[in-house]
Amino acid sequence: MEESSSFFDIALYVGYFLVIVAAVAAIVLPLIKSFSNPRSLLAIGGGILALAVIFLIGYALADSEVMPYYARYSLDGGGGKIIGGAIITMYILLGLALLSIAVTEVSKLFR
């Protein structure tokens, strides 16, 4: 039984390594490509700015009340507000995605 346990440990470490390599490649390779075209950095910056604005809207709409169930995990009002803001941000982005799908499909009807 010890042999299979060590195999799974090795497989987990290999999986962790591959996820880290993929994350680094996903971040570094587009940056290298964008140095040849610096204007593309403006589009990336605009996207990050738009996400930040949407998160700030979600954060402003979030409630800082922490239910007793979550209070036992040392979650205070600030942490609850950040989590609530992230959830509201997800709802906003999901709504925008569904709206864009609907607009795309309706615009295909008129082509």
| Position 104 in a domain | yes
Would you give per-residue pLDDT tens digits along the chain (111 residues)? 455 678 888 989 999 999 999 999 998 888 888 888 878 778 888 888 999 999 999 999 988 877 777 777 777 778 888 988 999 999 999 999 999 999 999 999 988
Does one domain contain both 105 and 53? yes
Which pLDDT does position 2 carry in this prediction?
54
Q: Answer yes or no: do 50 and 31 share one domain.
A: no
pTM above threshold 0.85:
no
Q: Is residue 56 part of a domain?
A: yes
What's the half-sphere exposure (Cβ side, CA atoms, 13 Å) at 19? 6
Hey, CA dihedral for 100, 46, 42, 36, is it positive or negative? negative
Q: Are residues 53 and 13 in the same domain?
A: no
